[in-house]
Structure 1
Amino acid sequence: MIGIRREDKSEWEGRVPLVPNDIRWLHEEHGIDFRVQTSPIRAIKDDEYRSCGAAVVDDLSDCRVIMGVKEIP
């Protein structure tokens, strides 16, 4: 399972490491499950991630890999 963390280093950061279409493709082609940490400032809304099959959660502690745009503060 791969987690997509919310960006919290800068309050203006809205970029994402993967868009919903990429997540859908990776899940369908390779069986990879995703968890996306909820975020009010992300350029792509939580519902868009839900619609592609990703779980939108607060806690990513069960993910083996966590992706983000910037380093974790």
Structure 2
Amino acid sequence: MDFDSLIHMFLKHKDGLKWMNFPKIGCGERYFDYYYAERGLYVIRYKITGALYFLEATSPKEAFMKLKKILDDAI
């Protein structure tokens, strides 16, 4: 499945998805939750604003740490 098809499918079914909490990392993970789409694609949601981030990773912890680095670099 290509990225555009995956995004379309995600947006079509997002209300029925089961969002997961991140494991305890100690870096503000309580403000985020994630959905594992497929083939290493994680959709991370910021609980306060509802912003979505799409990242490739091998584990939820790796996905969160990648997002944290992106957000820290943006400041």
Confirm or deny a common fold (TM above 0.5): no
TM-score by length of 1: 0.28
Q: What TM-score, normalized to structure 2?
A: 0.28
Larger Rg: 2
Hey, which of these two has a bigger chunk of helix by percent? 2
Considering Cα pairs closer than 8 Å and 6+ residues apart, tell me whether 1 or 2 has the greater RCO: 1
